[in-house]
Amino acid sequence: MAHGDKRYDLAVIGAGPAGAAAARRARALGLSVAIIDKAVFPRHKLCGALLSGRGRTAMRDVFGLEVDPEHFLYSRKVAFKWDGETLAEFDAPHVLTYTYRLDLDHRLLTEAIAAGAEDYQGTRVTQLDDAAGVLELSDGTRLRYGVLIGADGAASPVARHLFGRAYDPAKIGFAYEVEVPGGCADDALMSIDFRVVNWGYGWNFPKRETRTIGLGAIRSVDQDLKGRMQHYLASEAGDAGEGVALKGAHIPLGDYQKVPGRGNILLAGDAAGLVDGITGEGLAYAMESGALAAETAAQVLQLGQPARATATYRKRIRYIHDELDKANRLRQFAYSDRLAGVFKEKLANSQNMRQTFFDLLDGKTTYSEVERRISKQLLAKITRKMTGWPTSLAGRLKG
Ligand SMILES: Cc1cc2nc3c(=O)[nH]c(=O)nc-3n(C[C@H](O)[C@H](O)[C@H](O)COP(=O)(O)OP(=O)(O)OC[C@H]3O[C@@H](n4cnc5c(N)ncnc54)[C@H](O)[C@@H]3O)c2cc1C
């Protein structure tokens, strides 16, 4: 499609869940929108694609889409594991839904385009002139924008443009994942292994055509992540996992951009680091933050003050930052060696902890509420000496 020099109220770089949500919400608010992605959809994105209850709410709210059996597998069956040992098998209190990003992201983007966002798939941004509010695409097209949203993932070129780097290498997470052949039916078992890796976890999710097996952790913790993945894959998949190529990708695990943009340039989703540091869940925050970034754009453009976008947006997503801070604090309980014994015992026996874990995923509770409920003794143990990051990184962290 040939596009001349054009002006848009909003340009969105990256058409994953965050970018599609930004574009869809902006169209609902009457903005003219360009959505740009280097890929042509449907495209692969490494992801467990467990869409949580919070994710389902965001998808309904922003796109008017519901989960359905054609696109999702439904199950409540869960096993908690500890380095291969099954600690407990049980039914989760809420249904869990699993899909493929190839399909999900394509559907979300299709909704945004159907709502009138102009489609620039298969093209990269080669230059960004923020003073002039102009970006140039690889085919030479120049687009003018009132507000720009960088929804371009964990390695965000927009964040690099703003801050020199997209993430702090000491705090970024890294994940390996494979699709193991062999489809699953509804009610198939999923498992989470909380000790197959340090400062992270392993997952084995049922899907209609495969099992998605992966693990993720804070990358700089000293461990052979690839070796651990090979060991985990062999124990979870046996022969079915042999010869399946490992793929890897960065995942922000609780380290977010404290200032999520600059002036009229906003960051959303992984580009802003909005992934839960305990559960690794990022789809819900991607859609929520994308929509909030679009609402911010509409507000500041209406006021004729696009430069106020970052300050306004920062306030709007403060609740996400607060939740991520609290999750980081609580993950000491899950990941520090000092509390490993208590955590293992709770995983095996505590109904209360299971309920809390799945209530969090479902959006039925928040980390703020969990902190209020948790015993003061445990919270004191967690907060007294700990930073929310592995102690081995303490000297290298800047807050
Ligand atoms: C292995 C793994 C497993 C995960 N499992 C889960 C899970 O089960 N549930 C869950 O909720 N979350 C999970 N996450 C997190 C989740 O994948 C992310 O939080 C989510 O993808 C964030 O969406 P996004 O739209 O911000 O970014 P992305 O989905 O990464 O989309 C970014 C888009 O930007 C585009 N882009 C990048 N650079 C450019 C450029 N220069 N120009 C144009 N376009 C560009 C990319 O092509 C891409 O389409 C997982 C992550 C990983 C790595």
The pLDDT of residue 212 is 98
Ligand 1 proximity of 276 Cβ (cutoff 6 Å) = no
pLDDT in tens, 361-372: 999 999 999 988
Ligand 1 center from residue 192 Cα (angstroms): 21
Ligand 1 atom nearest 214 alpha carbon: 1
DSSP secondary structure code for residue 114 in this structure: H
Better-scored residue on pLDDT, 382 or 70:
70
pLDDT in tens, 344-363: 999 999 999 999 999 999 99
Ligand 1 center from residue 16 Cα (angstroms): 6
Query: Tokens in use for 258?
Result: 């404290």
Q: How far apart are CA 124 and CA 144, in angstroms?
A: 15
The pLDDT of residue 84 is 96
pLDDT at 4 over 60: no
The pLDDT of residue 336 is 83
Ligand 1 atom nearest 251 alpha carbon: 53
Compute and round to an integer the Cα radius of gyration of the chain: 21
Ligand 1 proximity of 275 Cβ (cutoff 6 Å) = yes
The pLDDT of residue 399 is 42
The alpha carbon torsion through 118, 123, 126, 131 (nearest 10 deg) reads 10
Ligand 1 center from residue 28 Cα (angstroms): 23
Residue 393 confidence class, pLDDT cut points 50, 70, 90: low
Ligand 1 proximity of 173 Cβ (cutoff 6 Å) = no
User: In terms of C-beta density within 10 A (0-12 exposed, 13-18 middle, 19 or more buried), how is residue 351 classed?
Assistant: exposed
Q: Which regions of the chain does DSSP assign to beta strands (E)?
A: 6-13, 33-37, 50-51, 73-82, 85-98, 118-121, 125-129, 134-137, 142-150, 172-181, 190-193, 200-206, 210-218, 247-252, 261-262, 265-267
CB atoms within 10 A of CB 208: 18
pLDDT in tens, 269-317: 999 999 999 999 999 999 999 999 999 999 999 999 999 999 999 999 9
- CB neighbours of 30 closer than 8 A, spacing ≥ 6? 298
pTM over 0.85: yes
pLDDT at 165 over 50: yes
pLDDT in tens, 124-143: 999 999 999 999 999 999 99
Summarize the confidence of residues 172-200 as an average pLDDT: 96
In this structure, are residues 278 and 217 in contact, taking their beta carbons and an 8 Å threshold? Answer: no
Q: Whose CA is nearest to atom 29 of ligand 1?
A: 16
pLDDT in tens, 206-253: 999 999 999 999 998 988 999 999 999 999 999 988 989 999 999 999
List domains and CATH numbers for the chain: 6-48+102-167+257-321 (3.50.50.60), 69-99+169-252 (3.30.9.10), 330-394 (no CATH)
Residue with tokens 């992605």: 37
The pLDDT of residue 308 is 98
